Structure formats: C-alpha cells, structure tokens
C-alpha cells in the first residue's frame, strides 16, 4: 500500500530472498552512490563495467602471470591493444551468452550474423 500511496517505484535486486530490507537498501545505495562524481577513484572505470555496454564484463587478471597452473592469456601480455580489445569483447560476449541469455537476447550484436 505504501508504495502505491506514495507513488514509489518498486525495483528488484534479484531473484532471491533476504532476511531483511537493510541488505537490499545497501545494494541500491551502492549502485547509486558509485555513479556520483568523485566516488570511484577512476571515473573511467565505470565505462567498461558490466551492463554499461549491454554485456557482462570480460575476465580480469592480475599478477603473477601463472597461478596454480592457470596462465594469463598470452594476448593480454602481448601489448597489442587492438588484439586485447578484440579478446575482451569476445570474452564478454561469450560470458553474457553463457551466464545471462536474457541480456544477450537484448544485445544488438546478438542479432547480427557472425562472419
């Protein structure tokens, strides 16, 4: 009733149950506050995050170059910025198709035939 009476917009933070509204409120606050100028250390970092392009974000790697038998993909160590960007886009598309088909269905590139 309160939502209707005050003209609030109801939103969902996901398909799961929480023990109280406090956790959901923190999630919403974080999602909003991080968009304010000066909140993120590097304002440009938000431009490449999940959902900004309609895709999930590509995998992230750090040092060491090999950890527990897993290696950073060679392309990321190549210094070839064009190849790195192409790899990141392909990985983002692959992850979105696998993990969020609902997002992939709305992504314009999903409707274009692959060459």
Distance CA 12, CA 18 (A): 12
Read off the CATH number of the domain in which 16 is found. 1.10.1270.20
Distance CA 58, CA 49 (A): 9
- pLDDT tens, residue by residue, 84-95: 999 999 999 999
- pLDDT tens, residue by residue, 6-26: 999 888 999 999 999 999 999
CA–centroid distance for 9 within its chain = 24
User: What range does the domain containing 47 cover?
Assistant: 2-111
- Domains in the chain: how many in total? 1
């Amino acid at each position: 009733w309160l939502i209707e009476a005050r003209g609030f917009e109801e939103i969902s933070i996901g398909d799961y149950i929480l023990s109280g509204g406090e956790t959901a409120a923190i999630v919403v606050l974080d999602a909003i506050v991080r968009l304010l100028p000066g909140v993120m250390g590097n304002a440009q970092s938000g431009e490449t995050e999940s959902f900004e392009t309609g895709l999930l974000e590509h995998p992230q790697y750090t040092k060491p170059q090999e950890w527990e038998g897993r290696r950073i993909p060679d392309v990321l160590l190549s210094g070839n910025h064009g190849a790195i960007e192409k790899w990141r886009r392909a990985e983002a598309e692959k992850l979105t198709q696998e993990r969020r088909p609902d997002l992939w269905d709305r992504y314009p590139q999903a409707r274009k035939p692959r060459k």
